[in-house]
Structure 1
């Protein structure tokens, strides 16, 4: 429920786990801009899958809050190729960070899940209460189960120890710092790269996976970062909170927009022998709206800025290929 008092006013100290990823880097930018003191550690400095090392760091650092954005993530191909890592790495990270935070006396924690936790055929738009009411999408089940375990862990700490820990369930995200690797990226950055290379190489046709009919919702990661700060400051409930824009479009429509932004003028066709994934995944964002948050970045504008950011990174050599996205 919304709170009148500020649960985490600046300049509180916030440890952001996963600060080099898409979500974590955006959260760091927002927290810094809002006057918070941000703590980070790279994977070489701290492996979050190591519970003893994680607990020791949190005891020494004594942050006021933790944002758990570290995760093993990827698209359909990566989930299908590395189910063990998507399950085990995420479980280890969550167990280490959440239990370590509580043992260190951290008073606020925000766990970042994913909209893939909801049943494959959940009623649309999906409400938070739909969790665990039906079968999951098979193509990302290991990842979804790990994230569900994280939610239950947070809820258990709330129930047993009265910990002020909360969960956010973002929709499909994109933005600067996204993963554009052709084997492990999510749909939007994968489309950006495919159309960019097709335009560069003068291809007359781009063939995409699936039928193009599934509907998806997309949120710029900077809008998510603003939502995370809102949750840290104003929310203290057991329900995971959906974070999305409340609107969706088909993959075919998304491909057309990305093609236009990138400047690709060839044909776009679909290989229906490839999997579609969940038919629709639109979140009900009523609870987040009640907290006073609304997204500000329109999809086309956000895609254009993301494309420009990626091209700049490519040209400078800063864009790395990530066949299996690092967990931290």
Structure 2
């Protein structure tokens, strides 16, 4: 017996993005095929009246909110207003409209950047709001914290069945490989791939290479979301959200070496120490989700091979259209 069933109508907001498309694939693989996946062009989530009309017309029973304005250190540092305003508007509109429309079960997708910069490692869910945030993505983190707390408040005050998951750094199909606005792993994949193509002898990476990060394949996240929707109801003393990750971290220097190997780069890796490192270490404590019965299954080594192959396929397709 699960908390969702094949007769449910699922609405996945952000289904064209990396996380949302992985959740959609995982739901379909698990037998949940009644899915509504409106694109940004079809439905503007910032337009509350349009959103209310959409809910009234389509009447979803389970909603997943994976839509967000996302980006790496450079984008968050450059456009903090955009990251705060757009994400607050999207989250407030979707969560409130879902509750008012009688949605039976709701999943909000957050981010591990919600935790304090110097949180005790590995980071437990209880670390939320116990210290200052990492300044380079503070506005995005504040928006995500607001989404968690809105779900929590609606659950407490009105009995709305809303849960949240906090994934670690994601990678995999559908990632953003923009040269400036991408996250660290896709940025490295693009940089090393281009170095191989151009036959250059060195690649320069940002920072010192010493920060520690954890990476989760997006298909693992999709399966975790289905698992949580099917099985997890927070107890009265439990946090209203769960960490999702591998529980294993590595230095950025180790990651760069792994990406170099996966892309076939044989040259020298240099480090531009004038660029920011961000949080020194960020590893999630995933023991709660593990006790419920879910663990990640895709190793970074295997995930990198398939991700590089997918990136190169996209790169070749884009090049052929130019």
Normalised TM-score (structure 1): 0.94
Structure 1 residue 59 displacement after superposition: 2.1
CA gap of 1:86–1:310, structure 2 versus 1, over 3 A, is same
Q: Which has the higher contact order (CA 8 A, sep 6+)?
A: 1
Residue matched to 1:244: 245
> Do residues 33 (structure 1) and 34 (structure 2) align?
no
Gaps of 5+ in 2: none
Structure 1 residue 236 displacement after superposition: 1.7
Structure 1 residue 155 displacement after superposition: 0.4
Structure 1 residue 191 displacement after superposition: 0.3
Report the count of equivalent residues. Answer: 316
Q: What SS does structure 2 have at the residue aligned with 1:143?
A: helix
Structure 1 residue 9 displacement after superposition: 2.1
Q: What SS does structure 2 have at the residue aligned with 1:208?
A: strand
Residue pair 1:230, 1:291 contacting (<8 A) in 2 also: no
Residue pair 1:22, 1:175 contacting (<8 A) in 2 also: yes
Structure 1 residue 114 displacement after superposition: 0.2
Residue pair 1:69, 1:112 contacting (<8 A) in 2 also: yes
Structure 1 residue 319 displacement after superposition: 11
Residue matched to 1:97: 94
Residue matched to 2:292: 291
Residue matched to 1:125: 122
Deviation per residue, 1:4-26 (Å, 9 max, x gap): x4111224211000001000011
**Where in structure 2 are the equivalents of 1:69-108 lying within 5 Å?**
69-108=66-105
2:9 to 13, 29, 37: 13
Gaps of 5+ in 1: 321-328
2:190 to 193, 210, 219: 193
Residue pair 1:310, 1:319 contacting (<8 A) in 2 also: no
Deviation per residue, 1:56-82 (Å, 9 max, x gap): 211221111100000000000010111
Whole-Å separation in 2 of the counterparts to 1:93 and 1:235: 25
Whole-Å separation in 1 of the counterparts to 2:257 and 2:7: 44
Residue matched to 1:326: none
Whole-Å separation in 1 of the counterparts to 2:268 and 2:15: 38
2:19 to 18, 23, 28: 23
Residue matched to 1:213: 210
